[in-house]
């Protein structure tokens, strides 16, 4: 593994330079609508009626998304530990890891600022969740650098999509801008790791295909240690913020199949050929399942719309 890290270091330097040329300086305090804030009294219970979302309301699914998105960002110390363990602290690898950590640190700052000022979700529940999450330090932890390249490329894109879709569901322009700004950072991080994985495929196609198989089939979002994560994830999926259809259509197909060109790779050893077949079968199956879920959701939405139409007052013809 040390050999491929050494061979990839010039690529890391180039990708880091590209990242710095595209990254924009921004300040969390400029995105938080502080004029909406007021003091919290000790022990004061939270109520949905307290939320000031610029005249908009949100449902429990959006609150779940905000809760999960922030607690995912709060677990940054453990992600840094994993990145440094896999890639090392020296040279271009170390420079990237520290810069990535600095940029990621802003995300929790700005989302937390927005949520506490607007009282969008219960701050006591949020803090208890943070304590539980960070105290446990549960994270998906790829066992080696090759699997790490794959995981972080997919995870950064998944996080970008989740943040952006959460912002779109908020309605509040200030909240939408917060989530959009965070998503822009996540997109640049995804591009770095995606292209790093592409370079690794050129050096060790068999090793990377086996890594892709393990990480695609066993993929888990970094929020798995969050209290009641499964329930929140289900609500988020049902709301269309992040579900299997999105995962298949916006991550697996465009990145694994098209950008990394999994189906067209040559020179694979026997084990890698088996791994490739496994991944392709998995993606095809997930696509079928995603289409069935999407069809059921569409049918449910149509029935709900029809039921709503039946309860509306009838307008006389000609009026």
pLDDT score at 14: 98
pLDDT score at 313: 37
- Sorted by sequence, the CB contacts under 8 Å of residue 169 that are 6+ apart come out as 58, 61, 62, 65, 239, 241
**Alpha helices, DSSP H, located in the chain:** 2-22, 60-74, 76-87, 91-118, 123-136, 145-170, 173-203, 205-217, 229-238, 244-247, 270-310
Cα 279 from Cα 219, distance rounded (Å): 12
pLDDT score at 23: 97
2-305: CATH superfamily: Ribonucleotide Reductase, subunit A (1.10.620.20)
pLDDT score at 140: 85
Would you write out the chain's pLDDT as a tens digit for each of its 319 residues? 679 999 999 999 999 999 999 999 999 999 999 999 999 988 889 999 999 999 999 999 999 999 999 999 999 999 999 999 999 999 999 999 999 999 999 999 999 999 999 999 999 999 999 999 999 988 888 999 999 999 999 999 999 999 999 999 999 999 999 999 999 999 999 999 999 999 999 999 999 999 999 999 989 888 888 999 999 999 999 999 999 999 999 999 999 999 999 999 999 999 999 999 999 999 999 999 988 988 887 776 677 666 665 544 332 223 2
Partners of 53 in the β-ladder: 56
Cα 294 from Cα 296, distance rounded (Å): 5
> Phi/psi at 268 (nearest 5 deg)?
-85, 145
DSSP 30: G
| Cβ-based neighbour number of residue 115 at 10 Å | 23
Q: Residue 51: which region, alpha, beta or left (left: phi > 0; alpha: psi -120 to 50)? A: beta
Residue found by looking up tokens 């197909």 in the block: 253
pLDDT score at 58: 94
Cα 248 from Cα 284, distance rounded (Å): 9
Residue found by looking up tokens 């090793």 in the block: 207
Cα 319 from Cα 317, distance rounded (Å): 6
User: Which long-range contacts (C-beta less than 8 Å, at least 24 apart) are formed by 160-167?
Assistant: 160/186, 160/187, 160/190, 161/242, 161/246, 161/250, 161/251, 162/65, 162/68, 162/69, 162/236, 162/241, 162/242, 163/69, 165/65, 165/240, 165/241, 165/242, 165/246, 166/62, 166/65, 166/66, 166/69, 166/241
What is the model's pTM? 0.91
Domain segments of the chain as ranges: 2-305
Partners of 56 in the β-ladder: 53
pLDDT score at 317: 28
pLDDT score at 149: 97
């Amino acid at each position: 593994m040390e050999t491929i890290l050494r061979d990839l270091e010039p690529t890391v330097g180039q990708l880091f330079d590209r990242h710095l040329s595209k990254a924009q300086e921004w300040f969390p305090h400029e995105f938080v609508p502080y004029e909406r804030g007021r003091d919290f009294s000790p022990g004061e219970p939270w109520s949905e009626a307290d939320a000031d979302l610029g005249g908009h309301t949100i449902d429990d699914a959006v609150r779940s998304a905000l809760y999960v998105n922030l607690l995912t960002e709060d677990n940054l110390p453990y992600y840094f530990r994993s990145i440094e363990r896999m890639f090392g602290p020296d040279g271009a690898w170390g420079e990237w890891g520290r810069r990535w950590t600095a940029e990621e640190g802003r995300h929790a700052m700005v989302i937390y600022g927005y949520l506490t000022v607007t009282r969008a979700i219960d701050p006591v529940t949020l803090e208890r969740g943070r304590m539980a999450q960070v105290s446990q330090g549960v994270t998906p932890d790829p066992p080696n650098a090759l699997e790490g390249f794959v995981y972080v490329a997919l995870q950064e894109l998944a996080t970008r999509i989740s943040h952006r879709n959460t912002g779109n569901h908020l309605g509040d322009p200030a909240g939408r801008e917060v989530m959009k700004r965070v998503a822009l950072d996540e997109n640049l991080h995804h591009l770095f790791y995606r292209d790093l994985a592409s370079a690794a495929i050129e050096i060790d196609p068999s090793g990377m295909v086996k890594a892709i198989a393990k990480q695609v089939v066993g993929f888990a979002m970094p929020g798995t240690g969050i209290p009641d994560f499964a329930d929140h994830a289900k609500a988020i999926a049902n709301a269309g913020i992040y579900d299997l259809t999105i995962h298949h259509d916006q991550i697996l197909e465009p990145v694994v199949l098209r950008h990394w060109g999994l189906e067209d790779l040559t020179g694979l050893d026997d084990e890698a050929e088996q791994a490739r077949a496994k991944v392709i079968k998995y993606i095809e199956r997930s696509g079928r399942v995603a289409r069935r879920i999407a069809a059921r959701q569409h049918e449910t939405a149509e029935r709900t719309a029809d039921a709503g139409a039946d309860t509306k007052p009838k307008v006389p013809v000609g009026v």
